[in-house]
Amino acid sequence: MAPTSPFALDGRLAMVTGAGSGIGRAIALGLAAAGADLILLSERDNLGPVAEEAGAAGAAVTTQLLDLADRSARSAVVERLLEAHAVDILVNNAGLIRRAPAAEFSDEDWYGVIEVNLHATFELCRAAGRRMVARGSGKIINVASMLSFQGGLLVPSYTASKHAIAGLTRALANEWAPHRVNVNAVAPGYVATATTAALRSDPARSSEILARIPAGRWAEPEDVAGAAVFLASPAADYVHGHVLAVDGGWLSR
């Protein structure tokens, strides 16, 4: 019999937040193509198409509507899901971005972004991580950003949250690596999703961004999926606390 691929995820169960569109959708389908079953979460009623496509690839799929900004609801729902299902892989993809000059940035936009991008991510890591540590195996993949490394423009809360995600990823890896739980992150570059629509519709800003990307194009969500599948797979068993840039060369420019 041929040896099992080190990238195969057969028999694994992955939970993916923000899975209805964009990067989350692409990661969910990449995991399904590698053999994983899925629990898909979204704040919007948009999981039907991705669940159908993943099911056609052979994945067993559970969907859950959940607003991660709702602190009490997310705790109850996540605990219920994790009690009912032994999750092997957690992908914290869901996130918010708000744009305004820092001097005019509202409290609502500051705290709202931090709530979803950081607080919810930590709580999901904690809930899944304690079970993975007890079991002695698991993979957690957080979605960071180029703004985990840089300051950006007009996005102070998003930048702060994504810097924090990089630090949280390393802190959890330090604690949980001895228990065979891998905590890593992917840091997408400029990806053609709804989050970057404002940048792509601004001719001057879009031109500036493209001029700095050695690959010469915006990423597609599928460009990020392969990195997430790698970090979820046995091929990455000795990778801990790494923030993997998928940026078309942006950071090396």
Is residue 158 among the annotated active site residues? yes
Mark the ranges of the chain whose per-residue pLDDT is less than 70: 1-3
Q: How far apart are CA 40 and CA 234, in angstroms?
A: 22
pLDDT at 67: 97
pLDDT number for residue 1: 39
Q: Which amino acid is at 139?
A: K
pTM of the model: 0.96
Instruction: Look at residue 198 in the predicted model and tell me its pLDDT.
Output: 86
Block residue for tokens 């705290």: 111
Instruction: Name the DSSP letter for residue 251.
Output: G
Res 195: pLDDT: 84
**How far is the CA of 121 from the CAs of 2, 33, 59, 91, 143, in angstroms?**
38, 25, 25, 9, 9
Is CATH 3.40.50.720 what the domain over 13-192+221-242 is classified as, yes or no?
yes
Instruction: Provide the residue ranges of all domains of the chain, joining segments of one domain with +.
Output: 13-192+221-242
Give residue 84's pLDDT. Answer: 98
The catalytic position among 111, 158, 190, 238 is 158
Q: Nearest-CA neighbor of 14 among 86, 76, 77, 66? A: 86
